Structures are given as C-alpha cells and as structure tokens.
Amino acid sequence: MDIRILGAADLPACSDLAESRSWPREPAKWALLHDVGRVFGVDAPDGDGLAATAVVVVFGSVASISMVLVASRYERRGLGRAITAQALAAAGDGVTFLHASTYGRPLYESMGFVLDGGCQGHVGTFADDGGPGAAPGTVSDVVPLDRAAQGVDRRPLLERLGTPFVVEGGFAFGVDIGHVTVIGPVVAETEEGAKAVIRGVARSASGPVRVDPDFRFPALTAWVRERGLVPGVPAPRLVLGGRALPGEASMRIAPFTRAV
C-alpha cells in the first residue's frame, strides 16, 4: 500500500479513522498537526476512507511522532510498522519521541524506542481552589521559557496555540479541540507556578479541561485530581535509541497533548 502526505481535504477522514478506533473526534487537533507537521496516510483499498495514519512534527533537533492509527479491518498486515517507519524517515537524525498506547508499545520497542517516563491525561470540570492565577500574555513572552524547557525553538507551534496564560517563570495555553479545552504545554520553574497557569486557563474555559501531568510530578498530579479532574490511561513516553531529550526536564510539567 502506498503511503502519501495528506492534505487539509483528507483531515475529516483522519477523524473518521480515529473515531473508528474509539479515539475522540478532534478535527482542531488534526488541523493544528497538519499546520506544524506532516500527516501521512494510506488510502483504504476498499475505497472507504483511510487504512492508516501517522504524524511527525519536527522542531530543530527534536521530532515527535503521533496519531499512529490503523483501521481494524487492516490490522496485522504491517501497516503500523510501515507508516511509523515513514514518519521516522521524515523525522531525520534528531531525537525522536512518542507517547505509546499499551497496544502500540511493543511495536515501537521492536523498532528501537526505549522507555523514558511519560504522562497521564486528566479530564473534567476544574474545581477552583481560589489560589493565585495567571494573566493572558503574548507568545513573545513565553518563547524563551519554552526554548529553555524543550531545548529547541517551537515558535510556530506556540503561535498556532493562541494566547498564553503567564506568570513569572511559567506559562500554559488553553486550546479548545472540540470536546475539551487542553491545558498545555505547561512550562514552569516551580509547581506553584504550574498550578497558577493551570488555574488561569481553567478559569477562562467554558467547559471541561484536560491536562497531562508528567509522571515526575506526583504532588501536582494529586492536586489536579483534587480539583476534580479524572485520570485516564497512562501514556509512557518512548525515545528512539534511548537518547536524551534536550532542554530542562524539570520545567516540562505537561505537554500539549501527547502528540507534540
């Protein structure tokens, strides 16, 4: 089966495939990933949508792979491995990471990915504790902090996310992806700063929110749960070859979803 780069017109079929695998329909997230990365796909031989997808996003020396999906009727034909290999080829020589499902992890480990921590999604209506919040800022305010945390310049992504909420030494965005407002990335020098920017976004959201705290912050994770957000399935992070991600890990509180 031929793997091709998908365009904007293909994105509804991406959401269809995700929904068929019990993933939420997230057209806004697919559009964002299309804008900042490359979306690969395989057309279903039976003419019904897509048989497989994968996304790669590259910023400098770091690449992320996500949205690896295979239609159930085309499982066990090597499509997942083939499209992941295509994304890896597009990632280049930089440090490449992904967040794995329980189902996908054995495949990625067989391709040379090594466990490197992870995160866990929490979703719900935020129960405000009345603590300090954060004020809206500008992308220019947060680019240096994000670069320090990530080790690369991700300005194109940050500009696509909208208006950040900012405190001294920290920020977070709130992005409505259709069914929930994602709070992320959360970057902060302290966990109190992380709480403040999470509060800032949550107070501006009109419905449920989601944040994916890194495993390295159990106290913050406990606080998120106390605020009424319900944990989902953990997502281990794997890095190709076990290489070290650049940047200051202690500032990377939560990603912008598991995709990037």
Let me know if residue 112 belongs to a domain.
no
Let me know if residue 181 belongs to a domain.
yes
Q: 58 with 145, same domain?
A: no
Let me know if residue 79 belongs to a domain.
yes
Asked whether 211 and 122 are in contact (CB, 8 A), the reply is: yes
Q: 86 with 132, same domain?
A: no
Q: How many other CB atoms are there within 10 angstroms of residue 131's CB atom?
A: 11
Q: 85 with 135, same domain?
A: no
Work out whether strand 170-176 and strand 230-240 pair parallel, antiparallel, or are unpaired. unpaired
Number of structural domains (the chain) is 2
Domain end: 42, 75, 93, which one? 93
Give the CATH number for residue 144.
3.40.630.90
Let me know if residue 185 belongs to a domain.
yes
Q: 74 with 190, same domain?
A: no
Q: 133 with 178, same domain?
A: yes
Q: 52 with 152, same domain?
A: no
Q: 22 with 72, same domain?
A: yes
Work out whether strand 230-240 and strand 62-70 pair parallel, antiparallel, or are unpaired. unpaired
- In whole angstroms, what is the distance from residue 70 CA to residue 217 CA? 33
Closest to 41 measured CA to CA, from 77, 13, 78: 13
Q: What is the H or E stretch that residue 239 is in? A: strand 230-240
* Token digits of residue 248: 């200051």
* Token digits of residue 212: 């994916």
Q: 89 with 125, same domain?
A: no
Give the CATH number for residue 45.
3.40.630.30
Q: How far is CA 149 from CA 28, 128, 144, 161, 201, in A?
A: 25, 27, 9, 17, 20
| pLDDT digits (tens), the chain, 260 positions | 799 999 999 999 999 999 999 999 999 999 999 999 999 999 999 999 999 999 999 999 999 999 999 999 999 999 999 999 999 999 999 999 999 998 899 999 999 999 999 999 999 999 999 999 999 999 999 999 999 999 999 999 999 999 999 999 999 999 999 889 999 999 999 999 999 999 999 999 999 999 999 999 999 999 999 999 999 999 999 999 999 999 999 999 999 999 99
Q: 89 with 127, same domain?
A: no
- In whole angstroms, what is the distance from residue 228 CA to residue 119 CA? 18
Q: 176 with 227, same domain?
A: yes
* Token digits of residue 218: 């159990």
Q: 71 with 151, same domain?
A: no
Let me know if residue 60 belongs to a domain.
yes
- In whole angstroms, what is the distance from residue 24 CA to residue 28 CA? 11
Let me know if residue 259 belongs to a domain.
no
Q: 131 with 78, same domain?
A: no
Tell me which residue range forms the domain holding 55.
3-93
Let me know if residue 206 belongs to a domain.
yes
